[in-house]
């Protein structure tokens, strides 16, 4: 297969993969829709929806610092935007052209670069398996590191967020940074095309664990989102659903 973007024609790498992808690209939205519906059904059947019985609404404690709230909310907003704009790129033959799709595709790279430090900070502050860390001050420590311990599945979700998030930020940065010129157009495009498939694979895999995390924290447990926004959660909420937080930081109830 020969292509001629940005200069003379050249032989494409793995032409059978490119041809197969282009021929079946129109099926991708249906694949993702099926995946989303399947995951939703699995989560509802397996986990259902939990809700703490709150009788003392005013008895709340500060669980998230301002720094943690800003980072977590930034991570949520940026990932939502990257998913939407990423789908716009992947489903380009559905979304078509025009100013809005073009703007979404252009800003996907810029916002993706901005997500790199946010991803890194979340990776650090969400590392809860830190029993061997020396904590000079619990008060200062919990302003940066999140409280509590992971359940087994949520720990896996964290590891996958770190692993495939790293794959996404690395491949995305390379794709954004590299640009073909007259001397290296063929080699650059070949590398970017190869990395793009890696980027797409990483986004598809991280989607599952992101859906699992979102459902576990935001959907299956009522009341989590207001807690992230205000930083405070009812004591009864913690006692019934997040006892690990109280167990780790026994001074919470004294404040």
Q: Catalogue all structural domains in the chain, each as residue range(s) with its CATH number.
A: 52-253 (1.20.950.20)
pLDDT > 90 in the chain, percent? 9
- Using an 8 Å Cβ cutoff, are 132 and 54 in contact? no
Model pLDDT for residues 185-226, shown as the tens digit of each residue: 677 777 887 888 888 888 878 877 777 666 666 655 555 677
At residue 2, what are phi and psi to the nearest 5 degrees?
-110, 140
Residue 69 to residue 223: CA distance in whole angstroms: 15
Q: Which of 236 and 7 is assigned the larger pLDDT?
A: 236
Kindly tell me if the per-residue pLDDT of 3 is higher than 60: no
**Lowest-pLDDT range of 2-16, 88-102, 137-151:** 2-16
Model pLDDT for residues 113-135, shown as the tens digit of each residue: 999 999 999 998 888 766 566 66
Predicted confidence at residue 173, as pLDDT, reads 92
How many other C-beta atoms lie within 10 A of the C-beta of residue 214?
16
**Lowest-pLDDT range of 151-155, 200-204, 248-252:** 248-252
């Amino acid at each position: 297969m020969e292509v001629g973007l940005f200069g003379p024609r050249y032989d494409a790498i793995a032409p059978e993969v490119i041809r197969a992808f282009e021929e079946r690209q129109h099926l991708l939205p249906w694949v993702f829709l099926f995946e989303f519906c399947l995951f939703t059904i699995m989560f509802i059947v397996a986990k259902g929806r939990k809700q703490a019985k709150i009788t003392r609404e005013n008895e709340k404690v500060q669980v998230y610092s301002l720094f943690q709230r800003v980072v977590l909310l930034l991570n949520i907003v940026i990932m939502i935007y990257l998913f939407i704009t990423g789908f716009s790129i992947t489903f380009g033959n559905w979304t078509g052209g025009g100013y809005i799709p073009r703007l979404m595709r252009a800003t996907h790279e810029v916002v993706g670069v901005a997500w790199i430090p946010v991803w890194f900070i979340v990776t650090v502050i969400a590392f809860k398996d830190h029993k061997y860390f020396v904590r000079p001050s619990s008060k200062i420590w919990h302003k940066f590191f999140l409280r509590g311990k992971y359940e087994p599945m949520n720990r896996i979700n964290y590891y996958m967020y770190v692993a495939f998030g790293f794959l996404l930020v690395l491949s995305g940065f390379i794709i954004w940074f590299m640009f073909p010129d007259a001397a290296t157009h063929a080699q650059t495009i070949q590398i970017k095309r190869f990395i793009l498939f890696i980027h797409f694979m990483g986004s598809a895999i991280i989607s599952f664990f992101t859906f699992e995390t979102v459902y576990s924290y935001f959907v299956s447990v009522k009341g989590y989102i207001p807690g992230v926004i205000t930083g405070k959660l009812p004591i009864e909420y913690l006692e019934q659903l997040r006892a690990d937080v109280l167990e780790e930081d026994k001074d919470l109830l004294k404040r």
